[in-house]
Amino acid sequence: MLKIINERLKIYSELTLFPFVIFTLPFALTGAMLAQFTLKGNIIPKPENIFWIILATFSARNAGMAANRLIDKDIDARNPRTCDRAMVKGVIKEKEVIIFIIISIVLFILSAWMLNPLCLYIAPIPLLLLLLYPAAKRYTWLNHFVLGSVLFFAPVGGWIAVKGSWDFPATILGTAVFFWTSGFDIIYDREDIDFYRKEKLHSIPQLLGEDGSRILSLVLHFITIFLLAWLPKIAPLGNIYSIGVAVIAILIIFCHIFTYKTEVLRTNKTFFWVNSLVSIGFFSFMLMDLIGGK
């Protein structure tokens, strides 16, 4: 019995790319933490708010990733990089994935409802973007920015969950995450550039080539750094936070330089781990700054 459960957990982990939550959850919690500090001068939201924020983040990601696997099943079957995925191999059935998506959507809406009315009102927007993203590559090279728009709502949603209002600092933080995510996704999609051309799918690497997409990604990441550095102008953040932004800037720039001449697979692995450090590092430095500012 335990063996069966373990095997199903592995299948669902592959379906949802569970480790990728590391890109989303730290920013959702950062938005909540900063909102709590501006509201009451402490950094820990109510335990029930933390619970619903975490559940909303996980359920939204699960819905989006499962929808991605479902919508892209035929494309994944033709792509050498993805032809071993669980859905392609028939290890998990379409009906099971659809039920999983529905449950995830229900949990996401429930989480938004339990937080506050504004969270519930805006919940359909990131949900729609999550479900739109898998299909976007068939119609437009702007699909990277659709994904960026999804993660825009991570810190914004965390902020609204605590404060019940959508304020300017949340927008700036969300916009920084939007550019960071879009730039990362552009680099990541370089791995499939030849396949996209063959299948007549759309992506910025397919449109601009490897060098052009690298340059655009770097520009987007510079915008991210600028917005994060500017945030203390409108939010109660100090020197520790600024040091954190400098560290993040060095990490991102180093990653671009280091991966400039390396082969694509190695580039993607490096970008994955560096961007994991970016999200965790940003959360950690903001946490230390707010603790110091109490």
Evaluate if residue 198 carries a pLDDT over 90.
no
Residue 182: predicted pLDDT: 95
**Residue 220 and residue 183: Cα distance in Å, rounded?**
6
Alpha-helical (H) ranges within the chain are 2-16, 25-40, 47-71, 73-78, 86-89, 94-115, 117-122, 124-136, 143-163, 168-188, 193-199, 204-230, 239-258, 264-292
CATH architecture of the region 18-292: Orthogonal Bundle (1.10)
Residue 89: predicted pLDDT: 78
Assign 33 to helix, strand or coil. helix
Planar angle of CA 278, 59, 14, nearest 5 degrees: 75
Q: Residue 264 half-sphere exposure, CB side, CA atoms within 13 Å?
A: 16
In the chain, what percentage of residues exceed pLDDT 70?
A: 88
**Residue 205 and residue 141: Cα distance in Å, rounded?**
9
Residue 170: predicted pLDDT: 97
**Residue 79 and residue 268: Cα distance in Å, rounded?**
17
Tokens of 101: 């998506």
**Mean pLDDT confidence for 246-263:** 79
Residues with Cβ within 8 Å of residue 126, at least 6 apart in sequence: 60, 149, 150, 153, 157
**Residue 111 and residue 52: Cα distance in Å, rounded?**
5
**Residue 283 and residue 221: Cα distance in Å, rounded?**
18
Residue 268: predicted pLDDT: 59
Q: For the chain, what are the domain ranges?
A: 18-292
> Which of the four pLDDT bands, split at 50, 70 and 90, describes residue 275?
confident
161 within 8 A of 113, measured Cβ to Cβ? no
Q: What is the mean pLDDT of the chain?
A: 87
Q: What is the pLDDT of residues 51-93, one digit of tens each?
A: 999 999 999 998 988 898 889 888 888 988 777 877 787 778 8
Residue 225: predicted pLDDT: 96
Lowest pLDDT segment from 22-31, 48-57, 218-227: 22-31
pTM equals: 0.92
Evaluate if residue 230 carries a pLDDT over 90.
yes
More confident call, 88 vs 96: 96
Compute CA distances 97 → 15, 63, 66, whole Å: 9, 9, 7
